[in-house]
Amino acid sequence: MEAQVFDDLRQYIAAAKQMSAWKEITGADWNLEIGALIEATAELIAQPPLLIFDEIKDYPRGYRIVSLPYADFRRVALALGLPYDKSKLELVRLASKKIRSAKPLPPMEVGRAPVMENIMTGKDVNILKFPVLRSHETDGGRYIGTGDVIINSDPDSHYVNMGTYRMQVHAPDLLGLWISPGQQGRQICMKYWEKGQSCPIVATFGQDPLTFMASMTKFPWQTSELDVLGGLRGKPLEVFRGPVTGLPIPAHAEIAIEGFVPPPREEARDEGPFGEWTGYYSGGTVGTGEPQPVVKVKAIYHRNDPILDDEAPLWPGAVRFDLNLRAGLLWDQLESAGIQDVVGVYAHSNYLYVVAIRQRYAGHARQAAHAVIACSAAARHGRYVVVVDEDIDPTNLKEVLWAMMTRVDPATDIETIEGCWSTPLDPRMPPEKRAARDHSNSRAIFYAVRPFAWREKFPKVSRTGRELFDQVVKKYSDILPFPPR
């Protein structure tokens, strides 16, 4: 199986259609109907199909939306350039090795870019030329950036950051921006705002999958995701220098904008409410009590028949990301921090991180858990860390829960740590902490491992051994409806 590197979203969609389920839906309404259908699909259908919406109400044929591209882990494997016949855990391991071995490759500037096929500037700027969704019933507006990539550059070091931060449409040339405290894109904006300046910004909507994955993963401060991305791709990302901001614009994006973010004390708007990935309306102005930054859009570029990537949050019981790069980065960072014998890592949403170790010494489990909270990949907005033994697959919640139920003594094996990096969109953030802008939370660590000192005396596992289990499944699969393994 050849690993593929995709230059744009179109190539990726074509490949994903070859290897997994997909459906095209025509005539649906951008106003709530599409959002509800996406949530129903991701909640009710196991391994949800990739959805492509065309002939969207009020919009011409060709102005499409793709959704759920990463709701099946095999499509994530395809996106990451990994073999898609492996288990989730093997894929996380392969992703971590890929991150470790990738040598940073800066982007390559090109003179011509598909994204420049159509240009809107001045009075022609109109972001509602595209079928921007209103996804959830109480959303305060339409959101173009959910599946976006926002690029800005540190004025001191000139390193270029990519981050995925949502964008609300306030007006045809004015977008709202929700960047949670501490996010790298926000730290860069603040450097401009402190000098009373507007921060130049580029955003793309609909880009090749690896660019999106790198954008939404927290690589350490001063690590340019553009360079990391080049390394992961094995060839530089082609970029076009933005005529308005001078920032790099991924050349093969479907849609891109250039604009400026003025200091919020000069201009800001109420943002949201927006249905968050937590399953609540808790971010933006609702979460902070304050108006949020805006982007004054100076230019819009787009390809013919553009495809928007919808990644609007879904209630967590619906699968939006069946796997992502974050767990791979966390595994790599744990090993780089010197944690030995890590045999599995997984992120079940931002709230639950599981790390499996082969315990070597007393204190090993605590060392691993504290490192999870400290590593950039998992430092922000977690809730629970579970450390398990090597016989537990961290990707399998049934196994993780079993370990928590049977290997944790609540009085001695649950540790809480206060004052960790969180975000105002945490629904459990107390009102007084929000008011004081103390956007921190506590974490609970579950040491769901056999106690090291008497691990040899811990009762033996009674579950059928995997070899015998696989043998009988194979032997009787003609008689019993076992799923494919």
Ligand X SMILES: Cc1cc2nc3c(=O)[nH]c(=O)nc-3n(C[C@H](O)[C@H](O)[C@H](O)COP(=O)(O)O)c2cc1C
Binding to ligand X (CB under 6 A) within 316-345 occurs at none
**Binds ligand X by CB under 6 A, chosen from 20, 67, 153, 161:** 161
* DSSP 8-state symbol, 23: E
Binding to ligand X (CB under 6 A) within 66-85 occurs at none
Cα angle value 90/92/97 (rounded, 5°): 95
Q: What does each C-alpha distance from 19 to 45, 79, 281, 358 come to in angstroms?
A: 17, 12, 36, 35
Nearer Cβ to ligand X (298/320): 320
Nearer Cβ to ligand X (215/359): 215
Q: Are 30 and 58 in contact (CB under 8 A)?
A: yes
Nearer Cβ to ligand X (180/441): 180
| H or E segment to which residue 240 belongs | strand 238-241
Q: Are 294 and 268 in contact (CB under 8 A)?
A: yes
Nearer Cβ to ligand X (212/240): 212
Nearest to 302 by CA among 106, 128, 88, 97: 128
Q: How far is the CB of 144 from ligand X (least distance, A)?
A: 12
Q: How far is the CB of 301 from ligand X (least distance, A)?
A: 22
Nearer Cβ to ligand X (213/256): 213
* DSSP 8-state symbol, 417: E
Relative to beta strand 143-145, strand 167-171 is antiparallel
Q: Which of the ranges 50-58, 152-160, 211-219, 454-462 carries the binding residues for ligand X, by CB under 6 A?
A: 211-219
With the C-alpha atoms ordered 326, 332, 334, 336, is the resulting torsion angle positive or negative? Answer: negative
* Residue span 173-202 as binding mask against ligand X, x where in contact by CB under 6 A, dash where not: -----xxx--xxx-----------------
Nearer Cβ to ligand X (146/282): 146
**Binds ligand X by CB under 6 A, chosen from 34, 201, 216, 342:** 216
d(CA 321, CA 212): 12
d(CA 413, CA 389): 14
Q: Which of the ranges 63-71, 106-114, 172-180, 437-445 carries the binding residues for ligand X, by CB under 6 A?
A: 172-180
Q: How far is the CB of 216 from ligand X (least distance, A)?
A: 4
Q: Are 376 and 332 in contact (CB under 8 A)?
A: no
Nearer Cβ to ligand X (297/388): 297
Q: Rule CB under 6 A: say whether 224 interacts with ligand X.
A: no
The beta strands (E) that lie in 340-468 are given as 342-348, 352-357, 384-389, 414-421, 440-448
d(CA 84, CA 51): 19
Minimal CB distance residue for ligand X: 163
**Binds ligand X by CB under 6 A, chosen from 22, 84, 165, 346:** 165
ω before 181 within 30° of 0 (cis)? no
* Cα 300 from chain centre: 25
Nearest to 373 by CA among 365, 381, 362: 381
Binding to ligand X (CB under 6 A) within 258-317 occurs at 311
Q: How far is the CB of 218 from ligand X (least distance, A)?
A: 4
Across the strands, what pairs with 149? 204
Nearest to 136 by CA among 303, 16, 283, 265: 283
Q: Which of the ranges 214-222, 250-258, 296-304, 462-470 carries the binding residues for ligand X, by CB under 6 A?
A: 214-222
Q: How far is the CB of 38 from ligand X (least distance, A)?
A: 13
Q: How far is the CB of 110 from ligand X (least distance, A)?
A: 24
**Binds ligand X by CB under 6 A, chosen from 114, 163, 259, 306:** 163
Nearer Cβ to ligand X (161/422): 161
**Binds ligand X by CB under 6 A, chosen from 74, 88, 166, 450:** 166
Nearest to 98 by CA among 112, 126, 79: 79
Q: Which of the ranges 81-89, 210-218, 227-235, 386-394 carries the binding residues for ligand X, by CB under 6 A?
A: 210-218
Nearer Cβ to ligand X (275/394): 275
Binding to ligand X (CB under 6 A) within 119-158 occurs at 146
Tokens of 249: 């614009």
Q: Residues near 184 by Cβ (< 8 Å), separated by ≥ 6?
A: 161, 163, 218, 221
**Binds ligand X by CB under 6 A, chosen from 20, 41, 164, 285:** 164
The size of the interface with ligand X (CB under 6 A), counted in residues, is 16
Nearest to 233 by CA among 77, 98, 113: 98
Nearer Cβ to ligand X (83/181): 181
d(CA 352, CA 312): 20
Nearer Cβ to ligand X (180/198): 180
Task: Give the residues lining the site for ligand X (CB under 6 A).
Answer: 146, 161, 163-166, 178-180, 183-185, 216-218, 311
